[in-house]
Amino acid sequence: MAGISGLALKRPSVIPGFGLAFGFALTYLGLIVLIPLGAMVVKAASLGLAGFWDIVTNPRTVAALRLSFVTSLIAAGINAVFGVVIAWVLVRYRFPAKRLLDAFVDLPFALPTAVAGIALTAIYAPNGWIGSWLAPLGIKVAYTPLGILIALVFIGLPFVVRTVQPVLEEFDREIEEAAATLGARRDQTIFRVVLPALIPAILTGFALALARAVGEYGSVIFIAGNIPYVSEIAPLLIVIRLEEFGYAEATAIGTAMLLISFGLLVFVHVVQAWRRRRFGND
Amino acid sequence: MDAWASTSFNRLSGEQSRLHKEEKPVDVTVQNVARSFGTTAALHGVSLDIRAGELIALLGPSGSGKTTLLRILAGLDVPTSGRVLFDGDDALGLTVQERNVGLVFQSYALFRHMTVLENVGFGLRVRPRARRPSRSEIKRRSLELLELVQLSGLEKRYPTQLSGGQRQRVAFARALAIQPRVLLLDEPFGALDAKVRRDLRRWLREIHDRTGHTTVFVTHDQEEALELADRVVVLNNGKIEQVGTPDEIYDEPNSPFVFSFIGESSVLPVHVRNGQVWLEDRPLDLPAGTLRDGPGQLFLRPHDVDVVSKARNGISGIVTTVRRHGGSRRFELEIDQGREHIEVELPESERSLQSSVAVLPRRWRIYQ
C-alpha cells in the first residue's frame, strides 16, 4: 500500500537507476529551461496585470506578434507539404548523388542564420538573381512579409524531412501492395493509406518547424526590412525594447510569445495523444 | 475456439452464395514462368494448372520461389518469361488493380488508421464511381463479410485493438470484399501461435468450401499444406519437384527432396546388386524390383518400421537414445559401429539402451 500512497513514482522495475535518471532529467530541465523562463515571467509579473496588458495590446506589439505567428504558421505549413515530398523522394527513389542531397537538407541547421538572411536578401532584393525576375511582375520579396516567410521556410526545412523520413522508411510496403490488389490507384493509395500513416510524424515536424520559426531572429532581420507595423517581427521588437532599456516591456512581449507558443505546442500534442489513443501505437 | 469455427456457417450459407455468385471461380494456368533477379534465378520455367475452385498449396523451404510465384500471380511481380492465364485469358497484361485478386499477407497489412469496417470496405470505396456500390451497400456487404469471418460486433475497433488471429480474419474479409477471381494467401498463418493456427486452418477450409474461390496459398509448413490443400505443389530451388494430392505427396514422394522435406525420414546408403538391396556387406529383405544395379539411398519414415527377428535380414543396430515423441517413443539406432544413424518408432516394451535390434521398413523408397 505504501507504493500507492504518495506520488507512486517508485515501482519495482528490472531496469535500475530510475530515481537517478529521473532526478537528473528534472534538475537538468529545470536549470536549462524552466529557471530562465521562470525568471522572465517573474520579471514580467512585476508590471502587474494591467501594465502587462497595456504593453501586449499596444498596436505595434500586436502587429509584431501577429506577423511572427502568422508567418511562422504558414512557413511550417509549407514545410510540412514540401518536407513530405522531399522525404518521399529521399526514401523511395534511387538516384545519383542521393547522399549529397540528403546532406543538403541539414544545411539550414549548420549555417549561421545571419549568413542565410544575408544570402537570401542578396538573391531576393530587387536587383538580385531572383528578385530581378520577380520585380517586373510586381512581386517584392525582400523587405516585405513575403521575405520573412521565405527565410522562415528556409530555416524550418529540415524538421519535417527528418521526422517523416524514418517513419516512411519503416512503412511496410505490403500495406501499399495490399491497397493495390484491392483496386486502389496509386494516388488513392498515397492519399488514403500512406499519408494518414505519416500524420503523427508530419505533425511533430510541423510543431518543431513552427517553434523554430517563431523564435527565429538572425535570418529574418536582414530580409524583413523591419518596418514597424509591416515587417517587424516580435523577437526584433524585443531587441529594440532592450536597446531602449525597456526591460519590463521586453519581458512582457517575451512572455506573451511564450504563452502563445506553449498553447500551440500543447494543441499539437493533444492532437497527437488523441490519435495515439485511437489508433494505438504498434 | 472450436465453437466459432463451426457454429454460424449453416445460417450464413444462403447469404454467402448471393455474395459471391457475381464471380465464378477461374482456372489459373502458369506456363513456363521464369523469374530472375539479376543473375540469380528465383523461378526456372515453372508450369502449373490450377483448377477452378481448387485450394492449392505452394510448399517449399525459404528461397524455393514460392512467394515469387504468388507475387507473379497477384501482379506484384513480373516474370522474366512465360505466361499466366486466368480462364484462358492472358493475366500478365492486367495491372495489379485490374487483376482483381484477393491477397492476404503474413503481416496482415491492415490499414491502421481505419476501423475494421473501413478496412473491409476499402476495396469497394476506391472503385471508380460507375462501379462503386452506394455507401449503405458497402456497409451492408462489409458487415456480412465480418459475420462470415466471425467478427461481428468488432467493426468499430481499430486493428491494433485486435488479436493476431482476429487481424488475419479482417484481412481475409477485406480480400473477399472485392469478389476476387483468385484468392492468394502468403503464409497467412505464419505469424500466429500454434493453437490459433490450427483453428484458423479448419476455418479457412470451411470458408473456402463455402465461397468456392480458386485459392493459392504459400507455406513452408508441410503439416499445414497437407492438412488444408486439395493439391500440394512442392517447390525447391525455383523448380516444381512434385504436384499431387496430400496423400500422393506423402505416400509416393518422387524425389529424395520431397521425401525428406515432407514428414520425417531417415536415410541409409545402400547398394543394389542382382535384384537385392545391400547395406554394406549384408543383404536386406527388401525386394529391389525394377531398381538397376548401383548405389542408392534408402529413405524410410520412423513410424513405418517393424521389428524383425534376427533370422531375417533386417537393418540391425544398437539403441543409443530413447526420446519421448508425442504418444510414442523414438529410438535412435546406431548402425555399422556408428557410421550411420536412423530414427525409428518402436513398441515401448523391452527396448533398453545398448540393446541390439533389427528392423525393416514397411514403406520405403530407394533413389538412385
What is d(CA A255, CA A42) in angstroms, rounded to the nearest whole number?
10
Q: Per the structure block, which three cell numbers stand in for B121?
A: 470496405
CA distance B177 to A224: 57
Q: Do A183 and B97 touch (CB under 8 A)?
A: yes
Phi then psi for residue A273, to 5 deg, are: -65, -40
- pLDDT of residue A85 exceeding 90, the answer is yes
pLDDT digits (tens, 9 = 90+) for B228-270: 999 999 999 999 999 999 999 998 899 999 999 998 888 888 8
Residue B129 CA to its chain's centroid (Å): 39
In a shared domain, residues B187 and B92 = yes
Could you tell me which residues of chain A have a Cβ less than 8 Å from any Cβ in chain B? Answer: 172, 174-175, 177-185, 188, 192-193, 196-197, 199, 278-282
pLDDT tier for residue A74 given thresholds of 50, 70 and 90? very high
Query: Residues B241, B293: one domain?
Result: no
CATH number reported for the structural domain that contains residue B362 in this entry: 2.40.50.140
Bridge partners for B97 per DSSP? none
Looking at the structure, tell me whether residues B187 and B292 fall in a common domain: no
Nearest 5°: the CA angle B247, B249, B251 is: 60
Give the residue from A23, A13, A58 showing the smallest Cα distance to A252. A58
Residues A280, B158: C-beta atoms closer than 8 Å: yes
- In 3D space, the residue among B23, B28, B183 whose CA is nearest the CA of residue B101 turns out to be B183
Decide which of B238, B258, B278 is a domain's last residue.
B258
- Among residues B82, B162, B89, B84, the alpha carbon closest in space to that of B120 is found at B162
B99: its cell numbers: 487483376
Residue-wise pLDDT tens digits, B260-278:
999 888 888 888 888 888 8
> Are B184 and B272 in a shared domain?
no
| pLDDT of amino acid B11 | 40
Q: Is the pLDDT of residue B209 over 70?
A: yes
Confidence of residue A10 (pLDDT cuts 50, 70, 90): low
Chain B residues contacting A via beta carbons under 8 Å: 74-76, 96-97, 99-103, 105, 107, 109-113, 122-123, 126-127, 158-161, 171, 174-175, 177-178
Cell of B308: 524383425
Task: Please tell me whether residues B185 and B75 are part of one structural domain.
Answer: yes
Residue B358 has pLDDT above 90, yes or no: no
How much is the pLDDT for A143?
85
Which pLDDT does position B332 carry in this prediction? 86
Domain boundaries, chain A: 60-234
Of B208, B235, B258, which one is at a domain's C-terminal end?
B258
Provide mean pLDDT across the span A117-136.
88
Minimum CA–CA partner of A176 in chain B: B109
Residue of chain A whose Cα is closest to the Cα of B109:
A175
pLDDT score, position A9: 59
Selection from A149, A105, A107 nearest residue A124 by Cα: A149
Same domain as B10, residue B78: yes
Q: What are phi and psi of B358, to 5 degrees?
A: -120, 135
Q: Residues near B322 by Cβ (< 8 Å), separated by ≥ 6?
A: B329, B330, B331, B332, B351, B353
> The domain containing residue B221 runs over which residues?
2-100+179-258
Residues B78 and B15 in one domain: yes
Q: Is B116:B169 a contact under the CB 8 Å cutoff?
A: no
pLDDT single digits (tens) A241-280:
999 988 888 999 999 999 999 999 899 889 888 888 777 6
Average pLDDT over chain B reads: 86
**Per-residue pLDDT at B19 exceeds 80:** no
Chain A residues close to B113, C-beta within 8 Å: 196-197, 199, 279
Cβ contact A181–B109 (<8 Å): no
Average confidence (pLDDT) over B312-337: 83
Q: Do B331 and B183 fall within a single domain?
A: no
For CA atoms A148, A154, A155, A161, give the dihedral sign.
Answer: positive
Compute φ and ψ for B241, nearest 5 degrees: -85, -40
Q: B2 pLDDT band (50/70/90 cuts)?
A: very low
**Contact indicator for B236, B64 with CB cutoff of 8 Å:** yes
Check if the beta carbon of residue A168 is closer than 8 Å to that of residue B106: no
- With respect to residue B13, please indicate whether it lies within any of the assigned structural domains: yes
Average pLDDT over residues B291-307: 87
pLDDT of residue A154: 93
Question: B186 with B250, same domain?
Answer: yes
Q: Examine the fold and report which residue of B219, B241, B258 is the final residue of a domain before the chain moves on.
A: B258
Percent of chain A with pLDDT over 70: 94
CB count within 10 Å of CB B71 equals 20
Using an 8 Å Cβ cutoff, are A227 and A143 in contact? yes
Encode B312-351: b = buried (16+ Cβ within 10 Å), e = exposed: ebbbbbebeeeeeeeeeebbbbbbeeeebbbbbbbeeeee
Helix (H/G/I), strand (E/B), else coil: B85 = strand
Task: State pLDDT tens for residues A143-159.
Answer: 889 999 999 999 999 99
Residues B234 and B268 in one domain: no
For chain A, the average pLDDT equals 88
Tens of pLDDT, residue by residue over B327-349, are 778 888 888 777 888 888 877 66
Cβ-based contacts of A171 with chain B (< 8 Å): none
Residue B35 has pLDDT above 90, yes or no: yes
Q: Is residue B40 part of a domain?
A: yes
Q: Number of folded domains in chain B?
A: 2
Could you tell me the CATH number of the domain that includes residue B244? 3.40.50.300
For residue B235, what is its C-alpha cell? Answer: 517447390
ipTM of the complex in this document: 0.82
Question: Are B244 and B271 in the same domain?
Answer: no
Over residues B37-52, the pLDDT tens digits come to 888 889 999 999 999 9
pLDDT at B338 (0 to 100): 75
Element (H, E) at B254: none
Q: Note whether B252 and B274 are same-domain residues.
A: no
Q: Give A-chain residues touching B111 at CB under 8 angstroms.
A: 175, 179, 193, 196
Inter-chain contact B126–A177, Cβ cutoff 8 Å?
no
Give the CA distances from residue A230 to residues A242, A255, B13, B49, in Å, rounded to whole numbers and listed in that order.
20, 22, 73, 76
CATH class of A60-234: mainly alpha
